[in-house]
Amino acid sequence: MGNLKNLVFLVLVLLGAFGLNDKYSKYKETLKDGKLIVENKKNLEDKIDEIFVEKARNKEKMENDYEKIKMLIDRFGILSIKNESQFKKMVYIFSNESGLKLKEISKSEKLWDRKGYSLKYIHFTLSGSLNDFGKFLYFVNKSKKYIDTTRSYIELTQEAYKISLGYIENTAK
């Protein structure tokens, strides 16, 4: 009976050891999982920080773009002409200063209209020397107000020079 007690005691000790070993393994696995969770949490926090930094950069870029657009619109306002008669007067002064005679002015043609500004073209007929016409083109090119020549044409005849010039009119009043 003494052997049986020792054998039962040994079996109980072995089962206890296996149980402790199993609990220790679970404890180690839990610690490992805890480390992974902490590491994943750190990675997620880093990613969140990166997202906030990127969002702040995008916001700053958008604000800079907005300021640039606002400056362009302000500049557009400075370069634009109030009305058709102001543009015609300006062309008359350029022709007079260059020695040309302004013979004929057509009605304006609207090419586009956007956000309070329109691009309009007017056809002018001028007479004088070719040298004077060159001076006129110089004055048009050096104008402080914007004169559009992207869609203009020049027709040279013996009697006159026909030219189309565009201007941006501020229609928002």
Chain centroid to CA 90: 34
Summarised one tens digit per residue, pLDDT across range 3-32 is 777 777 777 777 777 777 788 788 888 888
Task: Work out the pLDDT band at 78, boundaries 50, 70, 90.
Answer: low
Helix, strand, coil % in the chain, rounded to nearest 5: 60, 20, 15
Residue count (the chain):
173
Which residues fall within 8 angstroms of residue 22, CB to CB, at 6 or more apart? none
Residue 17: helix, strand or coil by DSSP?
A: helix
Q: How many angstroms separate the CA atoms of 101 and 114, rounded?
A: 34
Summarised one tens digit per residue, pLDDT across range 132-143 is 999 999 999 988
Claim: this prediction has a pTM higher than 0.95: no
